[in-house]
Amino acid sequence: MARGSRRGGGRRLGCSLGALVMVVLLVLGIGWWIGNQGLPTGPGDGPGRESDEPELTQPADCPDVQMLAVPGTWESSPTDDPYAPSFMPNALLKSITDPLGQEYPAERLEVFTVPYVAQFRNPQRPDEITYDQSRAEGTDRARAELVAMHARCPYTSYILLGFSQGAVIAGDLTSEIGTGNGPVPADLVRGSVLIADGRRLPGEGQSPGLSPGTGQGMEISLQPVTGFTQLIAGATMTGPRPGGFGELADRTAQICDSRDLICNAPLNVVDGAARFQEFVANNAIHAMYATNPDVIMGTTVPEWTIGHTRELVDAAPEIAHG
């Protein structure tokens, strides 16, 4: 009796194994048939499967990096060529942008020098437009270029550069971007270099040179007497930037000679009017950044900025052109 039961169990086990083998063969056969029909056999295979990662491609005329350079007062013109500025051949920023433009092909680095009126009406130049008007025009033109470039070239990254009035403009845009209110995302800005920024605040940004001392930007020191500066120069002293440079604080270089009243005015100006008139009358050190050896030890401001820019550009990703 027991032997018969074991034989019946063996027959059932044999049938079960036979059925399992048939199922495996059937599955393999279906897989072989599907494969020979050229159809996808699973996730990630076959045509029509889209990658989770976007393909980084841009139009052929898009650079990997754009340098947006904003010249200082009296170093630009609204009609100047942004790709080959010639209004002032010895403008400070040209000593930086010209060598970089010659070193890199346009598809790797595009230099755009913002053309704007760049004036500063004062008793010595009564026929010029006011600082407020000039600054507004420069800011609008710089922002418009960033908006247009980002719309056409979404993966292009940026380096901002400014001197004097242009440093205020570039610094304001850096602040907007770093605090989430700018024309491009903060992660696309590789760095910002501000030379003689009138809104410089100690502790904000990085100082690659000698410490400018205990001063701050003139637009901060003279904010309490902005009515007077508006009267004689149409210049509103706007104070510190709300939120500083935000996410871009560690990517923003502040360069200032301690003797330059634009970026290193006294913290407490007893007679703000007198100091402002002193600047308007004469601030020779402000015009010496191209050759001044006392701002960044062992080099000049243009040489340091060129080397810094090279590091930023060389580290930027290469974007394929579609």
- How confident is the model over 132-173, as pLDDT tens digits? 999 999 999 999 999 999 999 999 999 999 999 999 999 999
Mean pLDDT on 285-307: 95
| 207 part of the active site | no
More confident residue, 273 or 156: 156
pTM above 0.85, yes or no: no
List for the chain the helix, strand, coil content (%; round to 5): 40, 10, 45
Segment among 30-44, 175-189, 285-299 with least mean pLDDT? 30-44
| 257 part of the active site | no
**Structural domain boundaries of the chain?**
61-315
Rg (CA), the chain: 32
Which of 80, 98, 172, 260 is catalytic? The answer is: 260
For the residues of 69-106, what is the DSSP string, one character each? EE--TTS--TTS-TTS--SSTT-TTHHHHHHHHHHS-T
168 near 197, Cβ under 8 Å?
Answer: yes
Alpha-carbon distance 66 to 135, whole Å? Answer: 22
Residues of the chain with pLDDT > 90, as a percent, come to 65
Alpha-carbon distance 194 to 257, whole Å? Answer: 12
Which of 164, 175, 192, 221 is catalytic? The answer is: 164
What is residue 304's three-state secondary structure?
helix
Q: Which two tokens stand for residue 50?
A: 């889209």
| 286 part of the active site | yes
Residues of the chain with pLDDT > 70, as a percent, come to 79
Q: Which two tokens stand for residue 208?
A: 């690659």
**What's the one-letter identity of residue 66?**
Q
Which CATH number, 3.50.50.60, 3.40.50.1820, 3.40.190.10, 3.40.50.970, labels domain 61-315?
A: 3.40.50.1820
Report the pLDDT value the prediction gives residue 56, as an integer from 0 to 100. Answer: 83
Report the pLDDT value the prediction gives residue 2, as an integer from 0 to 100. Answer: 40
Segment among 3-17, 53-67, 262-276, 288-302 with least mean pLDDT? 3-17
Assign 29 a pLDDT band (cuts: 50, 70, 90).
Answer: very low
What is residue 28's three-state secondary structure?
helix
Report the pLDDT value the prediction gives residue 311, as an integer from 0 to 100. Answer: 98
Calculate the average pLDDT of the chain: 83
Alpha-carbon distance 309 to 151, whole Å? Answer: 24
Is residue 40 pLDDT above 70, yes or no?
no
Which runs of consecutive H residues, i.e. helices, occur in the chain?
2-36, 94-103, 131-152, 165-178, 218-221, 226-233, 272-281, 301-314
Q: Which two tokens stand for residue 285?
A: 């050190």
Alpha-carbon distance 255 to 228, whole Å? Answer: 28
| pLDDT tens figures, 171-184 | 999 999 999 999 99
List residues bridging with 302 in a β-sheet.
none
